Amino acid sequence: MKQCYLIIDIARCEDCNNCSLACKDEHVGNQWKGYTAAQPLHGHRWINVARHERGQFPIIDVAYRPTPCMQCQDAPCEANSRGAITRRSDGVLLIDPGKARGRRDLVESCPYHAIFWNEESQLPQKCTLCAHLLDNGWAAPRCVQACPTGALQFQRLEPAEMSALASARKLRPLHPELATNPRVFYANLHRFDRCFIAATVAARRNGRDECVAGARVVLLRDGSPCAETTTDPFGDFKFDALEPNTAGYEIHVYSGDQPAVTSPVPQLEKSISLGTLWIAAVETVS
Ligand code: SF4
Ligand code: SF4
């Protein structure tokens, strides 16, 4: 049986919050009988956009991560609900407003903090993946339709097909250590949970300071090359998606066959900018 999946590309999200607004437009003040009670006007973020900043001035980046209910296969909320949360055959989990009334404990049962408490109706509530629309022939939930950048993608696939797609596109679930088997997969999740090493390469030539474009840069770990890149037109380079809390890195910037400058990298506790690496002269990669 095909299951519902969301694929979220963090590199495409620009924090416009259209997804969140579309969710509110669909659910605030609207009671979708058989699916969910109305969402209150304030306090709920059924799809929340988290923000994360990495690096130090002048090389920093900021990423945005839309975060809805993960529609988990092994859902702690369902396990703790005593029948108040059920999973449909397409994988979508719904909270039954009749059985869940007064069950504030269900808010704490979600390790992703995807369940919100509605004080007025005394109900726990969360994203339904707009199941009421999907059941009426809509191709995708409102958030997906409202996203202007294509950061959100809705898929109906067999689990084996989703596995193959995740492997081909290097998609990952959020917090795999929670072992909840989510149906939401992320592209470019390294922008949230991995580190980068970056720097600018510059040279003094004829009394002028110039950034060096096209210089070959090699990243070594414990003395062995593990990645290679070239500087961009501004002399910047970045090695990304590195595991945090690792050590033993070194940067070599080459001029021809020889390193023109080498720089050890401190223990990589978080993303780091090494500042400007000065070289006397460099042959660039055309
Ligand atoms: S993300 Fe939370 S609310 Fe959603 S299915 Fe998983 S455990 Fe339940
Ligand atoms: S609508 Fe798309 S681009 Fe805008 S915040 Fe949501 S996911 Fe990001």
Domain with CATH 2.60.40.10 in the chain: 195-279
Which of the four pLDDT bands, split at 50, 70 and 90, describes residue 281? low
Helix and strand counts by DSSP (H, E) for the chain: 8, 17
- Mean of the pLDDT values across residues 59-79? 97
152 lines ligand 2 (CB under 6 A): yes
Query: Are 12 and 149 a contacting pair, CB within 8 Å?
Result: yes
Residue 22 Cα to ligand 2 middle (Å): 10
49 lines ligand 2 (CB under 6 A): yes
How far is residue 259's CA from residue 243's CA, in Å, rounded to a whole number? 25
Q: Give the pLDDT confidence score for residue 32 in this predicted structure.
A: 96
Q: Which of 18, 23, 62, 65 to mutate to test the pocket of ligand 2 (most atoms within 8 A of CB)?
A: 18
Which of the four pLDDT bands, split at 50, 70 and 90, describes residue 285? low
Q: Give the pLDDT confidence score for residue 40 in this predicted structure.
A: 97
Q: Which of 7, 10, 13, 154 to mutate to test the pocket of ligand 2 (most atoms within 8 A of CB)?
A: 13
Q: Give the pLDDT confidence score for residue 102 in this predicted structure.
A: 97
How does pLDDT run across 203-259, given as a tens digit for each residue? 988 888 999 999 999 999 999 999 999 999 999 999 999 999 999 999 999 988 888
Residue nearest to atom 4 of ligand 1 (CA): 69
How far is residue 178's CA from residue 76's CA, in Å, rounded to a whole number? 10
Which fold is adopted by the domain 195-279?
A: Immunoglobulin-like (2.60.40)
CB atoms under 10 Å from CB of 22, counted, come to 19
Q: Give the pLDDT confidence score for residue 256 in this predicted structure.
A: 81
Domain with CATH 3.30.70.20 in the chain: 3-192
Which ligand lies nearest the alpha carbon of 142? 2
Residue 195 Cα to ligand 2 middle (Å): 23
Closest-CA residue to 8 (of 174, 219, 195, 239): 174
- Mean of the pLDDT values across residues 191-210? 92
- Mean of the pLDDT values across residues 160-171? 98
Q: Give the pLDDT confidence score for residue 284 in this predicted structure.
A: 57
User: Looking at the predicted structure, is the pLDDT value of residue 2 above 80?
Assistant: yes
17 lines ligand 2 (CB under 6 A): yes
CATH 3.30.70.20 fits 3-192, yes or no: yes
Mean pLDDT of the chain: 95
Q: Give the pLDDT confidence score for residue 135 in this predicted structure.
A: 97
Q: Is 233 left (phi over 0), alpha (psi -120 to 50) or beta?
A: alpha
How far is residue 216's CA from residue 205's CA, in Å, rounded to a whole number? 19
Query: Are 15 and 48 a contacting pair, CB within 8 Å?
Result: no
Which ligand lies nearest the alpha carbon of 141? 2
- Mean of the pLDDT values across residues 266-278? 94
Query: Is pTM, for the whole model, over 0.85?
Result: yes
Query: Are 37 and 118 a contacting pair, CB within 8 Å?
Result: yes
Residue 18 Cα to ligand 2 middle (Å): 6
User: Looking at the predicted structure, is the pLDDT value of residue 283 above 70?
Assistant: no
197 lines ligand 1 (CB under 6 A): no
